[in-house]
Amino acid sequence: MSEQPQITPSTRATATASGREQRVADTFVALADTLVDDFDVLEFLHMLCDQCVELLQVSAAGVILLDEHGGLRMAAASSERAELLEVFAVQNEDGPCIDCVRTGAPSASADLTADAFRWPRFAAAAHECGFHAVQAVPMRLRRQVIGVLTLLKADSNGVHDASTRLGQALADVATIGMLQQRAIGNADLLAEQLQTALNSRIIIEQAKGVLSVHSNNLDMDAAFTALRGYARSHHQRLSDLARSVADGTASIPEILAHHT
């Protein structure tokens, strides 16, 4: 019988690091592949948030964008709690994410309880949502800021420097890709796409509510998972499917089957 190779902590760590590097590479490829003509901005931003949670050792992530009038709007989040917190930050104009998008510079708190004096309303809301540390990185190309990527942690030991750097790299790739769409088309393309995405988010919230009402115990996160899963498997735009759910023309049972 041939001798089996010995698995040591060192080889296990090497395999783990190699696997993570592959996931990072796959994520950048996926972000690039999504940026085709007429790409779905909302799906793109949700994928960005999900990959941040997957790769950066954070509990949740969210994106806030500047709309065509310079106002702030919550665009995407990896969970319902993160979405609620980002909406709260926009409504109250308080938090590291707001500072980040206004200044174009990263803003962070390793312990929001200790930093409550800086962002009193945001810190209290974050605590209610189960988050105790935050890192906000700008979605910016040179002087042009289009939004902010917010990384949230449930514990209060801050977001690691390596995760922050990778988060900034992901935000940079997303920003470059979205700005590139404007260069491909006309000067108003990006503004139109972002505004459409922000308007579509309202329809998605309505669709999540419809799916939740039509099920016995489906929460809003699971409702979104079902909506997104059905859209992907049937090659539909997320916003188009949400609109058909909201207006009652979609098959609710078929969509709900995708929530696991």
What DSSP letter does each residue of 185-203 carry, written as one string?
S-TTHHHHHHHHHHHHHHH
63 within a domain of the structure (yes/no): yes
**135-165 in b/e burial notation, b at 16+ Cβ within 10 A?**
bbbbbbeeeebbbbbbbbbeeeebbeeebbe
Domain that holds residue 241: 201-256
Same domain membership, residue 230 and residue 133: no
How far, in Å, CA of 112 to CA of 132, rounded?
5
How far, in Å, CA of 88 to CA of 68, rounded?
20
How far, in Å, CA of 180 to CA of 201, rounded?
22
Same domain membership, residue 70 and residue 22: yes
Whole-number pLDDT of residue 5? 47
Mean pLDDT, each 10-residue run in order, the chain (260 residues):
48 51 66 60 85 92 88 91 95 95 95 94 96 96 89 92 92 81 53 66 83 80 84 82 84 78
Whole-number pLDDT of residue 9? 47
Closest residue by Cα to residue 45 from 147, 183, 152, 192:
147
Same domain membership, residue 68 and residue 133: yes
**97-112 in b/e burial notation, b at 16+ Cβ within 10 A?**
bbbbbeeeebbbbbeb
171 within a domain of the structure (yes/no): yes
Q: What distance lies between CA 200 and its chain's CA centroid?
A: 15
Q: Which of 137, 157, 185 is the last residue of a domain?
A: 185
Count of the separate structural domains present in the chain: 2
Q: What is the pLDDT of residues 26-53, one digit of tens each?
A: 666 666 655 555 567 778 888 889 989 9
247 within a domain of the structure (yes/no): yes
Global pTM reads 0.69
Q: CA separation (Å) from 247 to 148, 162, 240, 243?
A: 32, 45, 11, 6
Closest residue by Cα to residue 132 from 106, 153, 107, 160:
153
Same domain membership, residue 62 and residue 128: yes
C-beta separation of 93 from 77 below 8 A = no
Q: Which of 134, 159, 185 is the last residue of a domain?
A: 185
Same domain membership, residue 47 and residue 160: yes
How far, in Å, CA of 50 to CA of 149, rounded?
12
CA atoms within 13 A on the CB side of 52: 37
Same domain membership, residue 34 and residue 120: yes
Same domain membership, residue 114 and residue 26: yes
Whole-number pLDDT of residue 110? 95
How far, in Å, CA of 217 to CA of 249, rounded?
22
Whole-number pLDDT of residue 141? 83
